[in-house]
Amino acid sequence: MKVSLIFPVACIGLAYAIDPLIFKGSKVFNAKTGDQFYFKGVAYQPKKGSTSSPQDPLVDEVGCKRDISRFQDLGINAIRVYEVDSSKNHDFCMNALKDAGIYVLLDLPTPSYSIRRENPSWDIYLLNKFKQKVDAFKKYENVAGFIAGNEVANSINTTPSAAFVKASIRDIKKYMKANKINIPVGYVDNDDLLIREPLIKYFNCGSDPDAFADFYGINTYRWCGENSYKGSAYDALIAPFSSYSVPYMLTEYGCNNPTPRPLNEIQSIYGSDMKDLTSGGFLFEYSNEPNNYGIVDVSYGDSNVSQLPDYSTFKKMLASVNPKGININSYNPDLKTSSCPSSSDKWLLGDVVPPSPNIDICNCLSKTFSCMMPPQYNPADDVQAVVLQNHLNSICKTVDCSDILTDTIKGTYGKYSGCTTYQKASLIISRYYDKMDRKPGQCFVSGLDFTFPTNDNPESIDSCSNISGDTVSSSPIPDLSFNGLSSNSSSNNNTSSNPAPSKTASSASNTSTSTKSASANSSSSRSSAASNSSGSSPSLTSASGGANSSGAADAKSASSNSPRSVSSDSYKIYGIIAAIISSYFIIQ
């Protein structure tokens, strides 16, 4: 049984304005009183009027002053925030929230960087971004936990992505442990009936405890209208957690069909039905966005607020419940971790978790390219990404691509699979360029009308094989870019330009806007980043379907379980490049 005392930094003896929390067994406790703690929270990501990217409500001082008084009026003790800018200063809002007794549950990914459920990978760029967010928030005493993935696997075909999220949990926990930071890291699912039970087990199983989720969240919208605990199947929702060894909670709830919402599930969540089973939950959501889930209408930087009908209902329902659980001194559970689910046609995963990305190896790799992806290439552009995919599908028939391949069922991961999109793609087009004897015009990607840099004297890739060690615990690099390099490093010297052959100019080059389906466009509106699913590919990710989710989204399609998630059919990528196409750019 694991016990986690949540001190943001290792400095025992500080006078806390907000009580630390203890995660013990399947429950959360107030470290000062020993009483069981329940999250009475709300999802918080006001978007209206915000022009920054990433969006960050925790730097809007006007908005924080405006909303914290409403939080106190509502009687909540926590908010869940999906997207922030790690480079900004959050002292004002975080300290004001602390003084008001409000904890913050924070997603590590954003719509700009995330493990994609389709074409998943875990690389040096993502790890660096996660470290930066941890460092930006480690000093705040009211950070209750980090979420490493939100609804990433949301279908059978996207179950391979869970392996990469699990690797991210392992590595960010290892980083925090090395830096004496003790904040829980968890995972959140979308209550998908086909895969939720193996997912729940998967994040609580294996030989490496660091890869376990410290808590598990469920985004659920199965209770609609005037329903009941059993009528809504909330009893079935909770059943898989009967002997779970870490805390679990409803990280989103609040079906909005019909509206206004009666929200009578609150009496079950905090009443006799569930108070001994869960650690509370977070209503979706505070601000009214296009999906129509909000309880207030607010705009970024504006002190005005309009209360909507659900506001008074939420306040009244919270006031009607006062859960009293067990005291920590009386809680001595005999809980065991889960058994890992077996691979099957419905679970495309084995037990082996992807290796930790190593920035030294990837830096070495960048010096070995004879042909490089151009700086104009934009992995966030889905048209360019598909063009690159198609090109690599073709050339991987003639050159060895095994160094970037991943197979989540067999548990095999190429030695450079933890490097960035730019690095992996440059490796493969370099191998093709070398195979073509570096003839003029052979350093290109068919369909991208860019000039591709070349290098006549690249270093030998053999030198990268001698690199060992672990860079997970190292400090993040402030200016690490999408190509895996910082402004103080260089990949290749003696580079020259190699214009793309004219035959490629008619393809999807120089495209700054991408073509997306309506459902894909809607994904950026709500909580956490999201995108799609694909069938498993026989090439680069053989067993991996992958796509992803995490960040901030707002739209709910009629068929979608969660108001944040995108339809799994909205954008599909197939073929050899599942391991190459960017894992951290979400189609919005």
Any idea what the Cα angle at residue 68 is, between residues 64 and 69, rounded to 5°?
A: 125
Q: How far apart are CA 259 and CA 224, in angstroms?
A: 10
Strand-strand pairing, 495-499 and 248-253: unpaired
Residue located via tokens 């991408």? 514
Structure tokens at 530: 């999201």
Query: Could you give the C-alpha distances from 329 to 5, 32, 325, in angstroms and in order?
Result: 14, 12, 12
Residues ≥6 apart with Cβ < 8 Å to 219: 150, 151, 188, 189, 190, 191, 250, 251, 252, 253, 284, 561, 562, 564
Active site residue 226: no
> Which of these is catalytic: 118, 141, 252, 289?
252
- Residue 553 gets which letter from DSSP? B
Q: Whose structure tokens read 């799609």?
A: 532
Tell me the torsion sign for CA atoms 536, 539, 542, 544. Answer: negative
CB 313 within 8 A of CB 261: yes
Task: List the beta bridge partners of residue 454.
Answer: 371, 496
d(CA 28, CA 35): 9
Instruction: Determine the residue type at 24.
Output: K
The pairs formed by 9-17 with CB atoms below 8 angstroms and a separation of 24 or more are: 9/138, 9/139, 9/180, 9/181, 10/180, 10/181, 10/182, 14/141, 16/141, 17/98, 17/99, 17/141
| C-beta pairs of 226-234 under 8 Å, 24+ apart in sequence | 226/262, 226/264, 227/264, 227/265, 228/268, 229/268, 229/273, 229/274, 232/265, 234/265, 234/268, 234/273, 234/274
Side chain identity at residue 227, one-letter code:
N
| 499 burial level (CB within 10 Å; 0-12, 13-18, 19+) | middle
**For 355-474, where are the alpha helices, taking DSSP H only?**
359-366, 382-395, 421-435
Calpha distance 450→66 (Å, rounded): 48
Q: Are 421 and 379 in contact (CB under 8 A)?
A: yes
Q: Which of 118, 151, 285, 289 is catalytic?
A: 151
Phi and psi dihedrals of 30, rounded to 5?
A: -75, 120
> Which helix or strand (DSSP H or E) is residue 268 part of?
helix 265-269
User: CB–CB of 281/78 below 8 Å?
Assistant: no
Q: Which two tokens stand for residue 559?
A: 């068929």
Contact assessment for residue 453 and residue 495, using Cβ atoms and an 8 Å cutoff: yes
Beta bridge partners of 103: 78
Pairing, β 216-219 against β 185-189: parallel
User: Structure tokens of 97?
Assistant: 């929230």
Residues marked active site are found at 151, 252
